[in-house]
Structure 1
Amino acid sequence: MTKDQVFQKMIEYFQGDPKRIQHFTKVYAYASLIGNAEKLSQKQQYILEVAALMHDIGIKPAEEKYGSCNGTLQEQEGPAPAKELLQSLNADEDIIERVVYLIAHHHTYDKIDGKDYQILVEADFLVNSYEDSLPANAIKSVYNKLFCTECGRKICRDMFVF
Structure 2
Amino acid sequence: MRSGKVIDAMIRYYAGDVRRINHFLKVYGFSKAIGEMEGLDDRTQEILEVTAATHDIGIKNSEEKYGNCSGAHQQVEGPPEARKLLEGIGFEEDIIERVCFIISRHHTYKDIQGIDYQILVEADFLVNAFEDKLQEAAIKSFRDKVFRTGTGKVFLERLYGEI
Q: Name the TM tier (shorter chain).
A: over 0.9
CA RMSD of aligned residues (A): 0.8
Residue matched to 1:74: 74
Does 2:98 correspond to 1:92? no
- Equivalent residues, number: 162
Please state how far the C-alpha of 1:90 moved relative to its aligned partner.
1.0
Please state how far the C-alpha of 1:59 moved relative to its aligned partner.
0.1
Residue matched to 1:21: 21
Please state how far the C-alpha of 1:30 moved relative to its aligned partner.
0.3
Deviations 1:24-58, CA, capped at 9 Å, x for gaps: 00000000010011111100000000000000000
Deviations 1:75-106, CA, capped at 9 Å, x for gaps: 01001110001111111011100011111110
Q: Identity rate of aligned residues, in percent?
A: 51
Give 2:37's aligned amino acid: A
| Structure 2: gaps spanning 5 or more residues | none
Deviations 1:109-129, CA, capped at 9 Å, x for gaps: 102010000000000000000
Query: How many Å separate the matches in 2 of 1:14 and 1:150?
Result: 32
| Structure 1: gaps spanning 5 or more residues | none
Q: Judge conservation of contact 2:24–2:54 (CA < 8 Å) in 1.
A: yes
Matches within 5 A, 1:1-162: 2-162=2-162
TM-score between both structures, scaled by the size of structure 1: 0.98
Please state how far the C-alpha of 1:2 moved relative to its aligned partner.
1.5
Query: How many Å separate the matches in 1 of 2:121 and 2:135?
Result: 19
Give 2:7's aligned amino acid: F
